[in-house]
């Protein structure tokens, strides 16, 4: 099976712009979670989608949003970008969520200037 894929791999944006990142889970996996990874804060949970519904949400402002499509592919959107949004954004998929193994994608490196 193909692993989790993310596009694009690298992005450079300017403050105030918005960005959309995409994640394709492993075939058959229905749960997709998103994480922000920074050197200072480590891996922080953004949100989880399951069957096109947001099931869990981390402690991030409303500028961060996401959605999931019927084929389980997921997108996350960040509006009004700030310098502090520069990070590696990782998505992870699991079969059903809830105590199941998560598999990470390679990440999207976002740089905000």
Partner 1 sequence: GENVEQHPSTLSVQEGDSAVIKCTYSDSASNYFPWYKQELGKRPQLIIDIRSNVGEKKDQRIAVTLNKTAKHFSLHITETQPEDSAVYFCAAEGSNTGNQFYFGTGTSLTVIP
Residue 21 near partner 1 by CB under 8 A: no
Q: Which of 61, 69, 98, 111 binds partner 1 (CB under 8 A)?
A: 98
Nearest distance in Å: CB 90, partner 1: 7
Q: Which is nearer to partner 1, 18 or 54 (CB)?
A: 54
Burial group, residue 13, by CB count within 10 angstroms (0-12, 13-18, 19+):
middle
Nearest distance in Å: CB 55, partner 1: 4
Nearest distance in Å: CB 80, partner 1: 25
Scanning 11-19, 33-41, 62-70, 73-81 for contacts with partner 1 by CB under 8 A, the matching segment is 33-41
Angle ∠(46,24,28) on CA atoms, nearest 5:
105
Going across the sheet that includes 19-24, the strands are: 5-7, 19-24, 74-78, 64-68
CA distance 100 to 113: 37
Residues 41-80 that bind partner 1 (CB under 8 A): 41-45, 48, 50, 55-56, 58-59
Q: How far is CA 108 from the centre of its chain?
A: 9
């Amino acid at each position: 099976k193909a692993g989790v894929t993310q596009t694009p791999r690298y992005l450079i944006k300017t403050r105030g712009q918005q960005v959309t990142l995409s994640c394709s889970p492993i075939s058959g996996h229905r749960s997709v979670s998103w994480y922000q990874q920074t050197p200072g804060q480590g891996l922080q949970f953004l949100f989880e989608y399951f069957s096109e519904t947001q099931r869990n949400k981390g402690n991030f402002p409303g500028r961060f949003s996401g959605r999931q499509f019927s084929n389980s592919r997921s997108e996350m959107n960040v509006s009004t970008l700030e310098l502090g949004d520069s990070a590696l954004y990782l998505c992870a998929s699991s079969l059903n969520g809830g105590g199941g193994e998560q598999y990470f994608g390679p990440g999207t490196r976002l740089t905000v200037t």
